[in-house]
Amino acid sequence: MKKTFMVAMALASLTAFAQTVPVITLPPSNLTVSPGNTATFNVTATGATSYQWLFNGTNIAGATSATLQVANAQSTNSGYYNVIAKNATGWVPSQMAWLAVVGSSGIVPFSNVANTNTWGQAISQVTYQPINGSAQVMAGPALDQMQLIVGNANKAKVTNGWFNPTIFDGFSTTNKIVSVPNVAAGQTVYYAVYIAYTNDSITYTQQSTVISLTAGGNSFPVPSLAALRFPYWIEWPDPICVLFYSTARNLLGVPGETVTLTNFYWAYTDFGIPYGQWRKNGNLIPGATNYVQLGFSGSASLVITNIQPNDAGIYDFVLYGNNWMIAPIITLSIQTTNGQGVFQKPKFAGTNFICDLVGATGRNYQVQWSTNLTGWNNLTTLTNLTGTVTFTNPSASTGSQFYRTVLLPF
């Protein structure tokens, strides 16, 4: 028993106690500022000793504190911002925030009366008859930044599947336009129409296609709506990301591993096979377009080999089909030290050998034992939910027994 204790303590003494990776408690938030003003992003993270801010996926030189100020902001500063929180143990990315630099808000059209597309009329998915209800615009500077433009003045009455907002709920909207607060005139805007209607006292909602436009100025002409379409089948909108078949949304890896990020979809479109591309921190990854369609479903995978700290980031997949969408993000953090698991100072409780294992949070470890450091046997699997997990095993009745851990794959 004493020999077992001495061997374990000697092995543990070769490594230092491990701290945990940073924990981001308050991520940066979306901002909208006027041209020439200063935009200030902040992050709060426990355990962080340094930071690195990014703009559209690229490091910002010198931006290494918990606060980032974008002075004299202009339209070229509009885009995604996020930060990597660092310490000696690992790198953790924050969620992405969008900076909108807007002087005069861009406008989008709000009528399908003149739509020449044969699917421009909104049809109920319950009765398959033209809809009577109300319509509102959802729009924004990026697919994941679209927001419903609220207010009665931004609603339109839908009659027999057609809407043209002249008067609704007592408000007059003679210009048939909607102003998008986080998009400047002349910038790209993503645009869709949401319709609400009632059937048998049940309220249903229906989404049009998402289309990309150039936001107009304060007067006509405004962008064309020729591509605006409404669904003709109950499965719309598709594709739909099937989350319970997809990669976990928060991953913690260690350098040298291979990680595979995967999203699964229900997708069958009249456009044919959907297509798309992976992004990291809001920036498209060149060549990462591997979407595979099999029957009514499809998948998109991204394989990152020999991961390193610089691979820490926010990953998502942009998919285009009947509907355009961005799948929910996957956060990849990197633990730079103690990735294989480190046994701490051992002890005995009765006849049991007890030792804490420090390693990557949320990962599984295979504990192995040996009597000669040559042949190793699997003993048990430990799930390390918090970063530290306790290993307990009856002490060897005779001779020495060595322990080690193996980090199991994702």
Note whether 208 and 237 are within 8 A (CB): no
Of the chain, the percentage scoring pLDDT greater than 90 comes to 55
Note whether 366 and 310 are same-domain residues: no
Note whether 142 and 181 are same-domain residues: yes
Is there a cis peptide before residue 231, judged by omega within 30 degrees of 0?
Answer: no
Q: Is 70 exceeded by the pLDDT of residue 351? A: yes
Structural tokens at position 69: 């100020």
Note whether 397 and 389 are within 8 A (CB): no
Note whether 197 and 179 are same-domain residues: yes
Return the exposure string of 305-341: e unless at least 16 CB atoms fall within 10 Å of the residue's CB, then b.
Answer: eebeeebbbbbbbbbbbbbbbbbebbbbbbbbbbbeb
pTM of the model: 0.86
pLDDT band with cut points at 50, 70 and 90 for residue 26 = very high
Paired residues of 212 in beta bridges: 190
Where is mean pLDDT largest: 10-19, 45-54, 144-153, 177-186? 45-54
Q: Is residue 230 part of a domain?
A: no
Give residue-wise pLDDT tens across range 103-123.
999 999 888 887 877 888 999
- Measured CA to CA, the distance from residue 3 to residue 5 in angstroms comes to 5
- Measured CA to CA, the distance from residue 123 to residue 137 in angstroms comes to 17
Paired residues of 284 in beta bridges: 279
CA 294 to mean position of chain CA atoms: 24
CB neighbour list of residue 374: distance below 8 Å, 6 or more residues apart: none
Note whether 165 and 197 are same-domain residues: yes
Note whether 278 and 300 are within 8 A (CB): yes
- Measured CA to CA, the distance from residue 149 to residue 398 in angstroms comes to 74
* Domain boundary pick from 81, 101, 121: 101
Q: Is 60 exceeded by the pLDDT of residue 173? A: no
Question: CA of 224: how far to CAs of 134, 142, 251, 405, in Å?
Answer: 21, 19, 43, 62
- Measured CA to CA, the distance from residue 310 to residue 22 in angstroms comes to 15
Q: Is residue 74 part of a domain?
A: yes
- Measured CA to CA, the distance from residue 56 to residue 168 in angstroms comes to 40
- Measured CA to CA, the distance from residue 377 to residue 375 in angstroms comes to 7
Give residue-wise pLDDT tens across range 181-202.
999 999 999 999 999 999 889 9
- Measured CA to CA, the distance from residue 294 to residue 292 in angstroms comes to 7
Q: Is residue 258 part of a domain?
A: yes
- What does the pLDDT read at residue 389? 92
pLDDT top residue among 128 and 36: 36
CA 49 to mean position of chain CA atoms: 25
CATH number, position 401: 2.60.40
Q: What share of the chain is helix, strand, coil (3-state, %, to 5)?
A: 5, 50, 45
Averaged pLDDT for residues 275-283: 96
Q: Is 50 exceeded by the pLDDT of residue 179? A: yes
What is the pairing mode between strands 330-335 and 250-253? parallel
Structural tokens at position 324: 């355009």
CATH number, position 285: 2.60.40.10
Which domain range does residue 60 map to? 23-101
* Domain boundary pick from 288, 311, 335: 335
Q: Is 90 exceeded by the pLDDT of residue 174? A: no
- Measured CA to CA, the distance from residue 299 to residue 284 in angstroms comes to 18
With H, G, I as helix, E, B as strand and everything else as coil, classify residue 103: coil
Give residue-wise pLDDT tens across range 3-24.
443 333 334 333 334 468 999 9
Note whether 96 and 111 are same-domain residues: no
Note whether 51 and 80 are same-domain residues: yes
Q: Is 80 exceeded by the pLDDT of residue 37? A: yes
Q: Is 50 exceeded by the pLDDT of residue 390? A: yes
pLDDT band with cut points at 50, 70 and 90 for residue 265 = very high
- What does the pLDDT read at residue 10? 34
pLDDT band with cut points at 50, 70 and 90 for residue 66 = very high
- Looking at every residue in the chain, the average pLDDT score rounds to 87
pLDDT top residue among 228 and 65: 65
Of the chain, the percentage scoring pLDDT greater than 70 comes to 90
Q: Is 50 exceeded by the pLDDT of residue 397? A: yes
pLDDT top residue among 169 and 306: 306
* Domain boundary pick from 85, 101, 117: 101
Is there a cis peptide before residue 237, judged by omega within 30 degrees of 0?
Answer: yes
Is there a cis peptide before residue 239, judged by omega within 30 degrees of 0?
Answer: yes
Note whether 55 and 152 are same-domain residues: no
Give residue-wise pLDDT tens across range 354-387.
999 888 888 999 999 898 899 999 999 999 988 8
- What does the pLDDT read at residue 17? 40
Provide the domain count of the chain.
Answer: 4
Note whether 330 and 375 are same-domain residues: no
Note whether 196 and 142 are same-domain residues: yes
- What does the pLDDT read at residue 402? 87
Note whether 172 and 131 are same-domain residues: yes
Which of 26-30, 33-37, 307-311, 381-385 shows the lowest mean pLDDT across its residues?
A: 381-385
Note whether 123 and 199 are within 8 A (CB): no
Q: What is the largest CA-CA distance in the chain?
A: 91
Q: Is 50 exceeded by the pLDDT of residue 2? A: no
Q: Give the helix ranges, DSSP H, for 128-272.
A: none
